[in-house]
Amino acid sequence: MRADARRNRDRLVAVAQEVFAEQGAGASLDDIAKRAGVGPGTLYRHFPTREALQEAAYRDAVAELAQRGRKLADELPPGPALEGWVALVVAHMRERSALAGALVESLGKEGEVFVDCHRLMHETGALLVDAARAAGAVRDDIQERDLLWMAHGVAQSAAGEGGDERATRLQEVLLRGLRP
């Protein structure tokens, strides 16, 4: 792919992530193209369907989340790194719930996008949880799967009136519950 085409694709995906988070998975593709500074033809050359753009936006968001988790593991002690990643995971799940729902509807829960993204999330979670366990920063019985299920629950709690406060409170309960 030419450098300018790659930049357009990357810009479209980044803008799509923002717009889908703001407006939901049914956001106007023309608006996404306009905000990305490209024409609709450029968008459709890269992403011939809405689902293709949604999938790319979701995959890139998960890849970024995993990268940020690895960076936290490199830069912070294991306990704070894990806590920082939990906050990132909850925010990711909250911001992308509509997008994930649309992808499940169109591709199915067992689709390749979810298999790949779940694998990456579990690998990153295992890296952080294993390090935190080895350092004695979390309970010995915590596994990355537990952490991801709990983060999902916290993210789901944000729906409805008072959701932000509820999610913040439950995230703190989750983090306290991880400690030995």
Digit-coded pLDDT (tens) for 86-123: 999 999 999 888 888 888 888 877 888 889 999 999 99
Q: What is the pTM of this model?
A: 0.89
State how far Cα 77 lies from the chain centre: 23
Only one residue has tokens 């994930």, namely 100
Identify whether residues 71 and 117 lie together within a single domain: yes
Domain count, the chain: 2
One domain, residues 28 and 94 = no
Going by C-alpha positions, the residue among 88, 63, 103 that lies closest to residue 155 is 88
Rounded to the nearest integer, the mean pLDDT of the chain is: 93
Check residue 1 and give its pLDDT.
60
Task: Tell whether 90 and 104 lie within a shared domain.
Answer: yes
3-state secondary structure of 108: coil
Q: Rounded to 5 degrees, what are φ and ψ at 35?
A: -65, -30
Q: Answer yes or no: do 118 and 158 share one domain.
A: yes
Kindly state whether residues 7 and 65 are assigned to the same domain: no
Residue 126: CB partners within 8 Å, gap ≥ 6? Answer: 143, 144
160 and 103 housed in the same domain: yes
Distance of alpha carbon 118 from alpha carbon 80, whole angstroms = 23
pLDDT at 76: 98
CA count, 13 A, side-chain hemisphere, 63: 11
If asked whether residues 111 and 24 sit together in one domain, one would say no
- Say if residues 93 and 152 touch (Cβ distance below 8 Å): yes
User: By residue range, what is the domain housing residue 99?
Assistant: 49-178
